[in-house]
Structure 1
Amino acid sequence: MDILECINSKRSIRAYTDEIISEETLTNLIELGTKSSTGSGLEPWGFVIIRDKDEINSLSEMSKKYLLDNLERYPYLHQYEDWLKNPKYSIFNHANTLLIIYGNTESHWYVYDCTLAAGNIMLAAHSMGIGTCWIGFAEHTLNTKEFKEKYGVPEKYQLVCPMSMGYMKTKLTAPERKKPIIFHP
């Protein structure tokens, strides 16, 4: 798949097969992620890979509970309250792989750099038939002191991108987007 086809057909994927992404493929995707641009050459990214489905399910339940208990702090999530209350709903889309990208806050550019790395990973994964989805619902749970200590994430690193991953159950049609707004005098 060439890059233009990849960009034009990439979608967030929320339904995965049970096929396991190999360690070699995950390492390759992360290395491709780190080929992205980086402000001041600081390369502030760090990664956690979780491949234990029970752990991923537990993190989903913790995240759902936290969000439901704190819904007043997140008014933009009220529209998802029924999802969060549904015992069958997994914020990680029942994926068997979770890739989490953290950024070193010593770099002013860490959010930008890690987001560019995430974009590279998502496009490269798509070209390999692997679906990805950025999981905003996990922002709190995966950035707690307890979680970061468990996975050896240094305190100076902050969560940028929690990403569910897996081989796509079905291929989706290309996304349709509105015409871009271009401002000019």
Structure 2
Amino acid sequence: MDALEAILSRRVQRAFADQPVEREKLSKIVEAGRHAMSARNLQPWNFVVIQNRDRLKEIGALCSTGRFVAQSPSAIVVLKDVTNARWADVDCAQAVQNMANAGWALGLGTCWVGNFDGAKIGALLGVKDGWAIFTVLPFGYADPKNPPQAKPLKPRGEIVHYERVGNAKP
């Protein structure tokens, strides 16, 4: 699958098949994250790859809107450098987008987890001072009984403008 196809076809996935994710695929996903753009090339991220089922259950229990992490076969916890207050969130978001698209291209789905107990997850993972949890990205193969569903996009004419707002035609 090429990059544009992955971007245009990607779905959010919260249910996973009971099938392990190959370490090689997780390595490729991390590489996609490492290659994200970042302000002044500071690369204010670290990635913690998790495949241990007990650890995934512990992390899932600490994700109030991402309990599905507990049933995922793998996850990548994205850390951000808190000393880079101005750009770390934007830069880490670009890394997350790269990883989500790479995962999809490799046949894996994910869902960005937004609400979690960052202090407890950080303690669990041994995160050092100066770093914080940005997000948790569970990765896995789709559950055939609960595949990811497409969500409708807003109409193009409402959000795409040419030369000035309100001009929907080139």
Structure 2 equivalent of residue 94 of structure 1: 71
* Structure 1 residue 182: Cα displacement: 4.9
Structure 2 equivalent of residue 177 of structure 1: 153
Instruction: Report the TM-score, using the length of structure 1 for normalisation.
Output: 0.75
Structure 2 equivalent of residue 15 of structure 1: 15
Structure 1 equivalent of residue 100 of structure 2: 122
Which of these residues, 134, 139, 148, is aligned with residue 122 of structure 2?
Answer: 148
* Structure 1 residue 30: Cα displacement: 0.5
d(CA) in 1 for partners of 2:121 and 2:5? Answer: 37
d(CA) in 1 for partners of 2:91 and 2:150? Answer: 26
Give structure 1 stretches of 5+ with no counterpart. 65-83
Q: Give the partner amino acid of 2:67.
A: S
CA RMSD of aligned residues (A): 2.3
Which of these residues, 133, 136, 151, is aligned with residue 111 of structure 2?
Answer: 133
Instruction: Report the TM-score, using the length of structure 2 for normalisation.
Output: 0.81
Cα contact 1:38–1:113 (8 A) shared by 2: yes
1:51 aligns with 2:51: yes
Query: 1:172/1:91 Cα in 2 relative to 1: closer, same or farther (>3 Å)?
Result: closer
* Structure 1 residue 173: Cα displacement: 5.4
Structure 2 equivalent of residue 27 of structure 1: 27
* Structure 1 residue 149: Cα displacement: 3.7
- Which whole-Å deviations, capped at 9, do the CAs of 1:121-156 have from their partners, x for residues lacking one? 000100111011111232xx2x20x53244232221
Among the aligned pairs, what percent are the same residue?
25
* Structure 1 residue 24: Cα displacement: 2.1
- Which whole-Å deviations, capped at 9, do the CAs of 1:66-100 have from their partners, x for residues lacking one? xxxxxxxxxxxxxxxxxx8xxxx934261021211
Q: Which structure carries more relative contact order (alpha carbon 8 Å, separation 6+)? A: 1
Size of the aligned set, in residue pairs, is 158
d(CA) in 1 for partners of 2:141 and 2:121? Answer: 26
Give structure 2 stretches of 5+ with no counterpart. none
Give 1 or 2: higher helix fraction.
Answer: 1
